[in-house]
Amino acid sequence: MHAKLFRPAMRTMTRRGMATEQQLKARITGTTNIEKITKSMKMVSAAKLRGDQTRLAAADPFAKWAASITGPHVDLEDLGTSDFPQKNLFVVMSTDKGLCGGVNTILSRMTRQMLAKLDADGKEYQLFVLGDKGRGQLRRVYGDKFLGSCTERVMPYTFDLASAIAQYTMEGEFDSVHLCYNEFVSAIAYTPSIKSIKPLLDPTSEVLYPFEVEPENDPETLQNFFEYTLATQMFHSLMENATSEQSSRMNAMENASKNAGEMIEALTLQYNRARQARITTELIEIISGASALEEAK
């Protein structure tokens, strides 16, 4: 009685633990389709990367003059709270689409670590997030700190977009505006970076020594100059982040294609073993049946 009850359970465990040939074949077909998709996406990302690299190269000299005013970019992890004034605005640049590796998560994690230090130091800040991915990652913890967000942007990015964002961020009163983005290093590397831009409203600032302000000490002229500087750096940072996005997506799709290929090989080997075992079992049954007929004669 106990044996009869136990045997069906054993057969059920065998069916659950071992995939059939049909199941293996279906998995091989599905994985092969995924591999084709990831390879196609890699090719598309590689083509877009070349275009973004061209636009970034064109934006480099355009923004080079602004670096002498705002200063060079620095790595996010190298900054301490002493590098920030009392009132800060962080413009965090993420992507609207996924499947691009850790280009968003790394930047969001470092931004959260930096904001936690500012909270502990008692400094004020607000966030303006570009991209749906960054907005989703930061809004849950810092939703009350959001000045605004910008999503579903049309690519490639334009200077008009950068100017509109710069104008919107200048509506608040901040001691400094910080652009958080991923700096493009190569096709396989990028670095989370930050640019800090302070308002240029003091006519006696040493930063303005190389320039002639006409009319002299005109606050509106200085305000326009600051807005144009901010828009220029904003545009260049957008180009850097877009290029990093495509390079990260290309590498992510390449890794996905490689993993799919390895899985296909493993499933094919498993399928061939199951097929060979089935054929061997059928041959044994045929030979045993033939032997039984011979003995019966």
Task: Report yes or no on 213 lying in a domain.
Answer: yes
Number of domains in the chain: 2
- Per the omega criterion (within 30 degrees of 0), is the bond before 156 cis? yes
Residue 145 to residue 138: CA distance in whole angstroms: 10
Question: Which two three-digit tokens encode residue 62?
Answer: 């355009």
Count of residues for the chain?
Answer: 297
Give the CA count within 13 Å in the CB-facing half-sphere of 266. 8
Cα 284 to Cα 281: distance, rounded to the nearest angstrom: 5
Question: Of 236, 251, 266, which residue is a domain's last?
Answer: 251
Reported as a single tens digit per residue, the pLDDT across 152-165 is 898 899 999 999 99
pLDDT, averaged across the chain: 86
Clarify whether residues 184 and 286 are in a common domain: no
Split at pLDDT 50, 70, 90, the class of 11 is: very low
Tell me if 286 is assigned to some domain. yes
Residue 128 and residue 154 share a domain: yes
Residues 292 and 246 grouped into a single domain: no
**By residue range, what is the domain housing residue 131?**
44-251
195 DSSP β-pair partners: 179
* Count of beta carbons in the 10 Å neighbourhood of residue 129: 27
Is the model's pLDDT at 205 over the cut of 80?
Answer: no
What global pTM score does this model have?
A: 0.82
Q: DSSP letter string over 182-219?
A: EEEEETTEEEEEEEEE-----TT-GGGTTS--SSTT-H
Query: pLDDT > 90: what percent of the chain?
Result: 52
29 lies in a domain?
Answer: yes
Q: Which two tokens stand for residue 189?
A: 């590397």
Bridge partners of residue 184, in order along the sequence: 190
| Claim to verify: residue 106 and residue 215 sit in the same structural domain | yes
Is 210 or 38 the better-scoring residue by pLDDT? 38
Indicate whether 9 belongs to any domain: no
**Whether the bond into 215 is cis, omega within 30 of 0:** yes
Establish if 11 belongs to a structural domain: no
Query: Which tens digits make up the pLDDT trace of 131-152?
Result: 999 999 999 899 999 999 999 8
- CA-CA distance, 94 to 232, in Å (whole number)? 18
The span from the CA of 255 to the CA of 258, in Å, is 5
